[in-house]
Structure 1
């Protein structure tokens, strides 16, 4: 079943100052995303540990394709130098279709005015009929742009 292991990448350009803000929000204040994009994220709660600490368990309540969903994740890796975080999904709706599901993002400086937010989804489908998680990727890319826009509105 090696052919069911996949990797999907997406990225979006944001303003450079927004890169630091984006990383800081996802690391230490992910519960604020529901203020920026309540259509996608309704809640983010710590179930064990604390925001911004490796090994913490975080539960997301979100809506995708009109369905209310839950994902419980371990904050598996924090790389401050490279502004990268990796979440490993350990419970929830994604695991109904995937054997494992890992979500990584990284903020990559591009030039003096722009950065890239890169999302990587790594997963293994339970069977060939499981769809690719493209709507989740689209939502993650959109939320990065909305956090950037929100940050710049607040800075003015």
Structure 2
């Protein structure tokens, strides 16, 4: 059933300083995300290891499509130079529909005042009726905007 493997990509432009802030928050301070976008993220707890270190396990509580959900993921890759982080889901609501689910983001500088945040999902559906995770992608792109706005609060646009 190799036809059930999929890849979904999304991107959003943010202000350049926000690119560094975005990477810093996801790497070192993911527990702050609940304060930045409480409509999406309710809680983030470290279960093993240290924030920002490969092998660390993080448990998220969030709301997606009006439903409270949770999930545990392991941080597989941290690439400081290229501002890439890759998470692999281990358990939780998302894993009811998918055999595997890997989330990767990268912050790419685009000139003096902009950066691009890209999200990539690589996943394998348990059956053909499983929907694409487009609402999760939409929320993570919205989160990038919120982190950028939060970082630039009080600064002129």
Q: Which residue does the alignment assign to 1:51?
A: 51
Q: Which residue does the alignment assign to 1:26?
A: 26
The Cα shift of 1:155 comes to 5.2
Q: 2-side partners of 1:56 and 1:90: how far apart?
A: 12
- Determine helix, strand or coil for the equivalent of 1:137: helix
Q: Greater shift after overlay, 135-144 or 145-154?
A: 145-154
Q: Which residue does the alignment assign to 1:151?
A: 151
Q: Which residue does the alignment assign to 2:63?
A: 63
The Cα shift of 1:113 comes to 0.5
Q: 2-side partners of 1:18 and 1:154: how far apart?
A: 14
| Count of residue pairs brought into register by the alignment | 156
Q: 1-side partners of 2:154 and 2:30: how far apart?
A: 17
Q: Which residue does the alignment assign to 2:102?
A: 102
RMSD of the TM alignment (CA)? 0.9
The Cα shift of 1:71 comes to 1.0
Q: 1-side partners of 2:41 and 2:119: how far apart?
A: 17
Q: Which residue does the alignment assign to 2:139?
A: 139
The Cα shift of 1:134 comes to 0.2
The Cα shift of 1:50 comes to 1.2
TM-score (norm 1): 0.98
Q: 1-side partners of 2:76 and 2:57: how far apart?
A: 9
Residue deviations 1:71-108, cap 9 Å, x none?
10000000000000000000101110000000000000
The 3 A distance-change label for structure 1 pair 100 and 154 is farther
Q: 2-side partners of 1:143 and 1:69: how far apart?
A: 17
Q: 1-side partners of 2:13 and 2:98: how far apart?
A: 29
Residue deviations 1:46-90, cap 9 Å, x none?
000111111000001000001110110000000000000000000
Q: Which residue does the alignment assign to 2:87?
A: 87
Q: 1-side partners of 2:94 and 2:38: how far apart?
A: 20
- Determine helix, strand or coil for the equivalent of 1:153: coil
Correspondences of 1:109-148 after superposition (within 5 Å): 109-148=109-148
1:41 paired to 2:6: no
